[in-house]
Structure 1
Amino acid sequence: MLSPAHRLRTSDDIRTTTRRGRRAGSRTVLAYVRLDARSPQDPVRAAFIVGKQVGDAVTRNTVKRRLRALVAGRLDSLPGGTDIVIRALPASARKSSAELAPDVDQVLSRLCTAPASP
């Protein structure tokens, strides 16, 4: 579970992150990251988007819980002040947490270590 300090809550913050942030994807997730969103002393904040294409309400909530747990375990390894939005793709509905973990790790490592685009 993400503590309230680690939640990206407002639609404006989510929209800004998806529009201005860097993007990377895999077969199951698409991630948007803004490394310079706030001060480096601020906590990492995350939001999750799981649309109807993923499945019915039960499936969407299951996928969201899995993604939330995976990201919560990785917050300490990310730079402070970072905003993250994870969008679940339809293939994520058929994956377990263990199968989603490499995809989440892959996109986060690409976005948090690669140099920014000009």
Structure 2
Amino acid sequence: MLPAGSRLTRSDEFASVIRRGSRGGRHRMVVHLQIMGPSTDADAGPRAGLVVSKAVGGAVVRHRVARRLRHLLASRMTGLPAGARVVVRALPPAATATSAELGIDLDAGLRGALRKVPGGVR
């Protein structure tokens, strides 16, 4: 589970990461990553949020996908740079994916997004 201090909660935070961050796309999800600059609250640890729309499935399916992604993301937060903001947007194929498949896509998406971050953060 993601601790409260590690969650993105405001819609403007989500919008900023999606619009200004780098993106790593996979078959089951898209990972958006933004590293906050030194003038912002970059000293804080990484924060993350999920977007699981109705296109993924009904409420039960969406909540199952969100639980799996939260669990997978929580274990990967320590590997992200300070000030990182991550939004994981689940795509419809995530509904039928196993946790292992979601984990592989999440790792690949994070690697892809980190590779594209301006300033050479890797």
Give the TM-score normalised by the residue count of structure 1: 0.93
Instruction: Determine the C-alpha separation between the residues in 1 that align with 2:101 and 2:17.
Output: 26
CA change 1:115–1:32 in 2 (3 A) is closer
Partners of 2:32 and 2:101 in 1: CA distance: 20
* 3-state DSSP of counterpart to 1:52: coil
Match of 1:108 in 2: 110
Query: How far apart, CA to CA, are the structure 2 residues paired with 1:114 and 1:2?
Result: 25
Cα drift, residue 113 of structure 1: 3.6
Instruction: Give matches, 1:1-118, under 5 Å.
Output: 1-36=1-36, 38-116=40-118
After TM superposition, the runs of 4+ consecutive aligned structure 1 residues lying more than 6 A away are none
Q: Over aligned residues, Cα RMSD in angstroms?
A: 1.5
Q: SS at 2:112's partner residue? A: helix
Give aligned pairs, total: 117
**Where does structure 1 lack aligned partners over 5 or more consecutive residues?**
none
Report the Cα distance in structure 1 between the residues aligned to 2:89 and 2:10, rounded to whole angstroms.
16
- Whichever residue aligns with residue 102 of structure 1, its letter is I
Quick one: distance in 1 between partners of 2:116 and 2:91?
A: 23
Instruction: Quote how far apart the aligned CAs of 1:98 are.
Output: 0.8
Distance in 2, Cα, partners of 1:101 & 1:18: 21
Shift of 1:39: 4.2
Q: TM-score by structure 2 length?
A: 0.90
State the SS of the aligned residue for 1:24: strand
Instruction: Give the superposition deviation at 1:43.
Output: 1.0
Q: Distance in 1 between matches of 2:78 and 2:115?
A: 15
- Does structure 1 conserve the Cα–Cα contact (< 8 Å) formed by 2:22 and 2:117? no
Q: Percent identity between the aligned chains?
A: 38
Moved more, 31-40 or 66-75: 31-40
